[in-house]
Homo-oligomer: A and B are copies of this chain.
């Protein structure tokens, strides 16, 4: 069990180190602490904190910096989120103050905004579609045997994809197929749609089209697209600033990671209600073991839940960041609820 003074020292070291990046020595710390003790005393306390594993040194005579466990302890027990600066709040609100035509625009804009506010790299994930219902499916002939497939879900998402149909498929058959899909699939949730596509639908369609597989591929493609295109990244370049390692190979892999939606999905993980802080090697992905990740869900009522996240150095100012992420997610949720409100009512 830690004494009050040890807690104070740990807290001070985390705060100082995360704000100026320099290891904290005993003398410097004396002036920053509320009570008056000598530097020697601090040294002793530091030594015990190091023994416990909450602090470490960069070299044998250096000041102390928090270890992963030190950050962990700080985040779990000592931190209280900063109130977000009113200028930041104003900036968020004004950037949300546009007329957006599509959700994607809002969520993409959010990633940029969040990265600007934090000066780290930010991720945003659209509200999950799993429970969304298929609201409409259209095939629009574009001439020359090309067709655009459009899929609309009840939470306003629109996906499309063009493809070619074999020249032996006649327009009436296509009409019939659309009718089947509209009759059988519209109104179901997307996961149910997937199930049906794997079971009875191919047979029904097979009556009209000789090789239904190709056609179903298109349908699945569009569905998959709406699953994979949920991820947005902002401030990718900021990584260059806060990533001290100048190992180009590592940075390159990171960029690849950030642009690969399935990898991102596994990193951002399954949303729970709280703001989650993962520090260093606590992050599942090995590439990120020298960074910290703050994730939070946002809740758009009946339209599902999405995720926002900030990736920065382990030495980030956690209290500020957590405050910011917390404020941002409520603003984003509010904006999206507005958006859906407009759609539903019009």
Q: A interface vs B, CB < 8 Å? A: 101-102, 135-136, 138, 140, 142-146, 148, 150, 152, 156, 158, 160-164, 167, 237, 240-241, 248, 251-252, 255, 342-344, 346
Q: Contact check, A241 vs B248: say whether CB atoms are below 8 A apart.
A: yes
Set B150, B152, B158, B163: member contacting A101, Cβ < 8 A: B163
| Measured CA separation A337–B312 after assembly (Å) | 47
**Given A101-B161, A101-B162, A102-B162: A144 and B241 within 8 A (CB)?**
no
Which residue on B lies nearest to A221, using beta carbons?
Answer: B101
Q: Contact check, A346 vs B158: say whether CB atoms are below 8 A apart.
A: no
User: Which of the listed residues A237, A252, A344 has the most CB atoms from chain B within 10 Å of its own CB?
Assistant: A237
Tell me how many chains of this kind the complex includes: 2
Set B135, B164, B251, B342: member contacting A240, Cβ < 8 A: B251
| Measured CA separation A167–B162 after assembly (Å) | 29
Q: Contact check, A164 vs B252: say whether CB atoms are below 8 A apart.
A: no
Q: Contact check, B142 vs A150: say whether CB atoms are below 8 A apart.
A: yes
Set B136, B163, B252: member contacting A143, Cβ < 8 A: B136
* 20 A-B pairs in the complex with CB atoms less than 8 angstroms apart: A101-B161, A101-B164, A102-B162, A136-B143, A138-B140, A140-B140, A142-B150, A142-B152, A143-B152, A144-B346, A146-B156, A146-B158, A146-B343, A148-B160, A158-B162, A160-B160, A164-B343, A164-B346, A237-B255, A240-B248
Given contacts A136-B142, A146-B156, 5 further A-B contacts (CB under 8 A): A142-B158, A144-B346, A148-B150, A237-B251, A240-B248
